[in-house]
Amino acid sequence: MSALLMTFAVLSGCNDVVVLEARMDGPAGAAVLHPDQGGPFYEPIGFVSNARNGRIWPLDLKHGWVVADDSAAPFLAGVPIPTGQRRILGDVVAYAPTSDVVTLFVADAFTGTLLEVPYVTGVDGDAPVEQGATVTVEPSFVDADGSGDAPVLTLVEARPGYATTESWTVTFTGSVWTVEGTRSGLQYGQASAQRPYASDNAEIEFVIEGTATEGDRFEFSIDTGIVEHDVGGLVQALWMHPEGAVMLASVYDLDTAETGLVAVDPATGALLGALDLPADSVPWRMSGDPAGDLVYVADARNPSVFELVLQVDDPSASAVRELAVQGPVADVAWQGDGDYEHLFVAVAGENRVDVFDLLADAWLDVNPYTEAVDGIRVESPVTGLAPSMGEVLLQEETTWGDRTSDEVVAISTFDGVMVLAEASTGCLAVNLGGPSSTADSDSTFSDESPASNPLMSESEATGQVVQVNPCGGLAEDEAWTATFDGAAGAWVVDGERAGEQANLAYEDERYVSDEGVLSFLILAGQNPSSHGDQYSWTVYDNVVEINGDLDRDGDIDQELELPARPVAYNYLAGATGGGWDELNEKTGVLWPLTDDNTVVRVNLQAAAIEVVWD
């Protein structure tokens, strides 16, 4: 079966990043189907919906390929799952009720409906049977003026993988025939009698023979099994129960401005009722625990997150608890390992992610040095969160020199950067050196007359004179100074971004900055410090960042524009049947970049992009 997943790949340059041409156009939503969730595949399959061409691309995440259509020719790239060129696709989820069926549900802003899209409808021997195009209504001719014309349209082909469920109209203008599909739109190319015609994206091919008068037309339909479900409004976000028992959709009615959270039976597409949320709420993205017992719903309008104790048999009866947060919410992510359960909450417009301790029923204070209960700061608005599936081996080391590991939450930000939050602490993952400074006792001192000789004390543990808080994300890349104020008899500490600190640094007393970002000890010298004496140094946050530096040489190779919400995956690597290679688990995220027209596979352990689908 794994041969079914093979396709054509191109290695870009001499780096390790694989770039494949997949003709993405506004990738907006992503989902992953793992083998234990059903379906015929032995490895995780990603699905990416596109907002500008109505296509969904199936991707083999382990091998970094596009899923092939023909097991006999696995080196040939496959085709996308078409829904119609006019559609504006959004969030997508996968549903696999059996080992031989895979169905996708995807939001369509063009029709304001939830699409049910068959992908695999059965298994023939060792090969999945994917959706195919069939002509459900033979072309009929409408003689608009009753002139008695009787041309014939011979439908040569409705191509599987290109054609989709829709009705087509072929109308004579008096000189040529215009072609329009209800979901593919008016075609740029026009048809002429006696000549083979193919629609713009090769959905259909036909030949017209005979004469006609202006206004005459042919009508026919194509059916690939796609069903449009009216769920009460425009679908904003989707969540699928881990076992496929129920699907939740947050909806917004453009006509009435009413919002809601509705439950859908994925087996039938039937509405199971609405969940009881406050009338003025705008339910948005969702995240659940691994069992699907608890679901957390972001409110895009109010400072709230809703906790649902999900009743699968009767979702409308689910208990709802409201958690107060600091502002409207961009995204939520549940993460835990049995010893803790944390809910990561991205506050819209605040460049911050807060962490709620679900076991303690209280907010986690990532920075206890301040009076406020702090979350973690990021450099740009958050566009999405994705909790990892299992632990990730991080780059930082323990006191004993071992690599640390933790579950993480991948944080996608508007500036095209992804950072990783350690799920147990909320701190951002940092590189091997961790947050550090350039300060040393000799090179950072500027002595004003008269001569002075204070000394910055060096830490035996780190060898640094300025200690930087090891919690990633608290420190920022910035220049700092400590300037002696003769009148105060103390040092005034100032950060380029943090500003002048309220706390003064007194000699022979350890100093801690206002927010606990850094500390140091200045020892008095034999010659007293004089007004204007200054220490200067630079702090580096050393936060691990995944960005457009594909070959990791320090330069941005590709701007990652308008990142969408990432989604996590994992798979086993190594010789599963025995051999020299160690069997280990790889965990990462599939990350759509809407305005960049690309989708990338991110290895969370390496903190690097490995595959680019262009």
DSSP string, 535-570: EEEEEE--B-EE-S-TT-SSS-SS---SB---EEEE
d(CA 409, CA 411) in angstroms, rounded, equals 6
d(CA 136, CA 129) in angstroms, rounded, equals 19
Is the per-residue pLDDT at 22 higher than 90? no
Count of Cβ atoms closer than 10 Å to residue 367 Cβ: 20
Beta bridge partners, 92, equal 106
Specify the DSSP class assigned to residue 323: E
Task: Decide: 184 and 203 in contact? Cβ < 8 Å.
Answer: yes
- One-letter amino acid identity for 368? P
d(CA 343, CA 357) in angstroms, rounded, equals 7
d(CA 176, CA 194) in angstroms, rounded, equals 11
Provide the sign of the torsion angle of the four alpha carbons 23, 25, 26, 32, taken in this order.
negative
Q: What is the pLDDT of residues 557-604, one digit of tens each?
A: 888 999 999 999 999 886 555 555 555 788 999 999 999 999 999 999
Q: Strands across the sheet with 584-593, in order?
A: 10-11, 18-20, 608-613, 598-603, 584-593, 567-573
317 phi and psi, to 5 degrees?
-95, 5
Is the per-residue pLDDT at 395 higher than 90? no
Across 187-213, b (16+ Cβ under 10 Å) vs e yields: beeebeeeeebbbebebbbbebeeebe
Task: Decide: 218 and 143 in contact? Cβ < 8 Å.
Answer: no
d(CA 81, CA 59) in angstroms, rounded, equals 11
- Nearest by Cα to 17 from 607, 598, 601, 604: 601
Is the per-residue pLDDT at 11 higher than 60? no
What residues have CB less than 8 Å from 315, skipping those under 6 apart? Answer: 246, 248, 263, 272, 273, 275
d(CA 555, CA 25) in angstroms, rounded, equals 26
Query: Of residues 79 and 489, which shows the higher confidence score?
Result: 489
Is the per-residue pLDDT at 49 higher than 70? yes
Q: Where are the alpha helices (DSSP H) in 242-299?
A: none
Instruction: Provide the token pair at 247.
Output: 């699907």
Using a 10 angstrom Cβ sphere, with 0-12 exposed, 13-18 middle and 19 or more buried, the burial of residue 8 is middle
Instruction: Provide the token pair at 305.
Output: 């997150």
Instruction: Provide the token pair at 393.
Output: 């081996």
Highest mean pLDDT among 27-41, 119-133, 391-405: 27-41
d(CA 593, CA 24) in angstroms, rounded, equals 10
Across 481-491, b (16+ Cβ under 10 Å) vs e yields: bbbbeeeeebb
d(CA 409, CA 388) in angstroms, rounded, equals 6
380 phi and psi, to 5 degrees?
-155, 160
Would you state the pLDDT for residue 257?
Answer: 87
Displacement of CA 363 from its chain's centroid (Å)? 25
- One-letter amino acid identity for 433? G
Task: Decide: 180 and 167 in contact? Cβ < 8 Å.
Answer: no
**pTM attached to this predicted model:** 0.91
| Mean pLDDT of the chain, nearest integer | 89
d(CA 346, CA 426) in angstroms, rounded, equals 12
d(CA 259, CA 230) in angstroms, rounded, equals 14
d(CA 186, CA 473) in angstroms, rounded, equals 51
Q: What is the pLDDT of residues 212-241, one digit of tens each?
A: 999 999 999 999 999 999 999 999 999 999
- One-letter amino acid identity for 203? E
d(CA 451, CA 457) in angstroms, rounded, equals 19
Is the per-residue pLDDT at 124 higher than 60? yes
Percent of the chain clearing pLDDT 70 (strictly above): 91
- Nearest by Cα to 48 from 589, 605, 607: 589
Is the per-residue pLDDT at 137 higher than 90? no
Would you state the pLDDT for residue 75?
Answer: 53
d(CA 147, CA 150) in angstroms, rounded, equals 9
Would you state the pLDDT for residue 8?
Answer: 34
Longest CA–CA separation in the chain, Å: 113
Count of Cβ atoms closer than 10 Å to residue 390 Cβ: 14
Would you state the pLDDT for residue 1?
Answer: 34
316 phi and psi, to 5 degrees?
-65, -15
Would you state the pLDDT for residue 281?
Answer: 95
Is the per-residue pLDDT at 520 higher than 80? yes
d(CA 125, CA 138) in angstroms, rounded, equals 32
Query: In which band, very low, low, confident or very high, does the pLDDT at 156 lie, cut at 50, 70 and 90?
Result: confident
Please write down the long-range contacts of 302-307, taking CB distance under 8 Å and 24 or more positions apart: 302/278, 302/328, 303/327, 303/328, 303/329, 304/278, 304/329, 305/329, 305/332, 305/343, 305/345, 305/356, 306/277, 306/281
What residues have CB less than 8 Å from 399, skipping those under 6 apart? Answer: none
Beta bridge partners, 208, equal 153
Would you state the pLDDT for residue 578?
Answer: 54
Displacement of CA 237 from its chain's centroid (Å)? 13
d(CA 151, CA 226) in angstroms, rounded, equals 31
d(CA 178, CA 339) in angstroms, rounded, equals 64
Instruction: Provide the token pair at 136.
Output: 């459900």
Percent of the chain clearing pLDDT 90 (strictly above): 72
d(CA 542, CA 431) in angstroms, rounded, equals 6
Specify the DSSP class assigned to residue 429: P
Instruction: Provide the token pair at 132.
Output: 């195919």
Across 61-80, b (16+ Cβ under 10 Å) vs e yields: bbbbbbbbbebeebeebbbb
Q: What is the pLDDT of residues 88-112, one digit of tens each?
A: 999 999 999 999 999 999 999 999 9
